[in-house]
Structure 1
Amino acid sequence: MEMFHFRGTADVIIARQRGRGIAKAIGFGLVDQTIIAYIISELAIKLNAFSEKGYMGIRTIAGCREESELGIEVRLFDQFHGLSRGQITNVEKLVDDMDMIRDRAHGTVMTFRKWLVSPLHID
């Protein structure tokens, strides 16, 4: 997992570019690469603005059923609970999976996943 700490706008741009590069390397199309870059950018800006001590990790993931199922995972670590679910509603609509865990020892951990082939959602 590649880790990014945000001290300014330049760090946000570096994380966004690296996330787009990872997405391209595993086979996401141009539209999904752009969506992933947007997600990373929005989350990094929020983390930079609302958290005194937070960072982001980006990595490639494989589905547990098939090794050919690939995706990208973006994980935010906010040690001072500066971020809330309400601040990221625009991003939540663009990802396939989202988890949020809060505990006193580690703070808030938000995990977002986008799969190369999106899972079927039936409402």
Structure 2
Amino acid sequence: MEMFHIWETSDAIMARQRGREIAKAIGFSLVDQTIIAYTISELAQKLVSISAKGHMMIRPVSLCKGDPASGIEVRLFDHFTGPSRIHLQWMKELTDSLELSHDQSRGTMITFQKWVHAPLRVDSPIYAAGEE
């Protein structure tokens, strides 16, 4: 697990780059690596743009205990204790699991997970028209 304090844009860039590296090491496709990096970057930039900063944790996760990593989990902690200021509508299509919790004394925590999806497997050969 890696933790990043997000206070300025350079912190957001470091988190995004490291998230992409972790996603690549786990085996995500280039497209999914880009989606993960984009999501991390957008969340981190939201912390930079507000006065009460926060931190982010990124870690590889597995579906079953003892299995090798098959996904990535990102947790963002917004230290602002007022009403939640982060809206997640844009993230629903980019993640496999998304959770938001808000506590008036601790702030907002957002957790998202993305899983490596196995490539489509076709057991029978595929023929072009007329080759059956």
Structure 2 Cα separation of the partners of residues 81 and 8 of structure 1? 20
1:4 aligns with 2:39: no
Query: Percentage identity across aligned positions?
Result: 54
Question: What's the RMSD between the two structures over aligned residues?
Answer: 2.1
Which deviates the most, 88-97 or 9-18? 88-97
Q: Which runs of 5+ in 2 are unaligned?
A: 119-132
- TM-score of the pair, normalised by structure 2: 0.78
* Pair member with larger Rg: 2
One-letter code of the match for 2:12?
A: V
Q: Which runs of 5+ in 1 are unaligned?
A: 119-123
| Deviations 1:44-92, CA, capped at 9 Å, x for gaps | 0012112513111100011137825610011011121464452x32123
Deviation at 1:115, TM superposition (A): 0.5
- TM-score of the pair, normalised by structure 1: 0.83
Q: How many residues align?
A: 117
Deviation at 1:7, TM superposition (A): 2.2
Q: Is the 8 A contact 2:55 2:76 kept in 1?
A: yes
Would you tell me which structure has more helix in proportion to its own residues? 1
> Any runs of at least 4 consecutive aligned residues in structure 1 with deviations exceeding 6 A, and if so which?
none
One-letter code of the match for 2:80?
A: F
Q: 1:16 maps to which residue?
A: 16
